[in-house]
Structure 1
Amino acid sequence: MNLKKGRTNQKLRTRKALLEAADRLVGQGVKPSIADIAEKALVSKATAYRYFPNLDALLLELSLDRKVAAPEQILHDAEELSAAERAARVHDFLHRLVAENEQQFRLFLRASMEQWLQTGGKSDAPLRGARRIPMLSLALAPCRKSIDQATYRKLLHALCALVSLEAFITLTDVCQIEPDEGKEITRWAVKTLVNAVLKP
C-alpha cells in the first residue's frame, strides 16, 4: 500500500467533510463559524483552520463545490466513447464551469495562493480539493489495464494540467485568447495526448 497516497486521500476526505458540514449548516439557514463547521465535521477547530484559513475561504470554495458534478454524472452515458472522448467530456464540463464562474474561480485561486504564502509552501493540508483527478480517472478507466502504471500516472497528471482553471487562465491571460477558442485548443490537446499514449 502507498502510505503517502493513503494519507493524501484521507486529507482530501477531511477537506470534503468540512465542505459538506458547511453545506448542511448553511442549508439549515445557519451562518456558521469555523468552529461550528469543525464540530459538525467531527474534526478539531485547529484541523479546520489548517484546511481553510478563514470562513470566507471555506464559503467561497463551498459555492463552487456545489456546482461540481460527480464523475459518474459527467460520464453517465459515455460507455461507448473512446478514452480520448471521455477525457474530452471531462474537459468540456470543467471548462464550462470555469467560464461560467470565472470571477469566483479567480478568487478561489487567490485564496489558495495566499494560504500557500502564509505557510511558506509547507502546508500539511491540501490547498485544493483535487476534484479533476477522480473525474479523469473514471474517464481513463476503460484503458487503465492497457498501459503500465508509470505511463498511466504521467497521463493522468498531464491531463490535470490541461483542464480547468490553470489552463483557462494561461490561455486567456498569457495568450490573450478568447475562452471559446481556448476551449478548442485544450480539448484538442487532451484528445491528442490520450490518443498518442494509447496508439497501437
Structure 2
Amino acid sequence: MSEPSATITGMAGVVIGDDGVARCPWGAGEAMRSYHDTEWGLRVSGEAAYLERLTLEAFQSGLSWSTILNKREAFREVFAGFDADTVAAYDEGDVLRLMDDARIVRNRRKIDATIANARATVGLREEGGLEAFVLGFVPAEQPAPGDTGEMLTVSPESVALSKALKKRGFAHVGPTTMYALMEAVGLVDDHLVGCHRRGCSGAA
C-alpha cells in the first residue's frame, strides 16, 4: 500500500484528508484515494471479476499496489478481460507475447500461474464456480482494526482457502495473497474503525 500523504490522526490510524474525510492511511494519498473510496472492500460478482482480483493480487506480490493499478487496463487487455475460457487456451506463444509486453509485470511464474488459474477456474464450474467457492470462506466474525498495526495479513479462512484452491490446481494463491483477495472483494472488512468506508461491504 502507498504511504499516506495527509496528516495522520493517531499512530497509523485513520487519516483526515484535505476534504475533511477520514480514511485508512494507505488510501489518503491522491493516487490511491479513488480505489479506497470506490472499490476496495466492496463485493464483486461474476467469474471474471473474481479471476481478475485473484490475478492482480498474485501479480502484486513483492510490488506496490499502485503499480498494479496503473497497469490494470493493460492486464485486462492481455488477459482478454479475464475470460477464463480464453486465457485457459493460451499456449507458449501467448506466454512469450506477454513476456514481451512492457505494459504489464513480466514475471514468467506469475503469467504461467494466471493461465493455470484460468484452467482451474473452468474446472471449478463443476463445484459451482469460482465466486461461490471463494464466498464459502467468509469468516464468522469480522475484524475491527483501530489502526494498521492491528490489521492481519493472514487468517484461518485465508489459509483454508489457499489450501482448497491449490488442491484444485490454482497457483500463486498463498494465504497472504488470499487474505488480500478477501479484503479486496469484501469478505473481510479491514477498513479501520473511523474510516468513512467502514462497513461498505455489508459483511457482518
TM (norm. structure 2) is: 0.33
TM (norm. structure 1) is: 0.34
Compare CA radii of gyration and give the structure with the larger one: 1
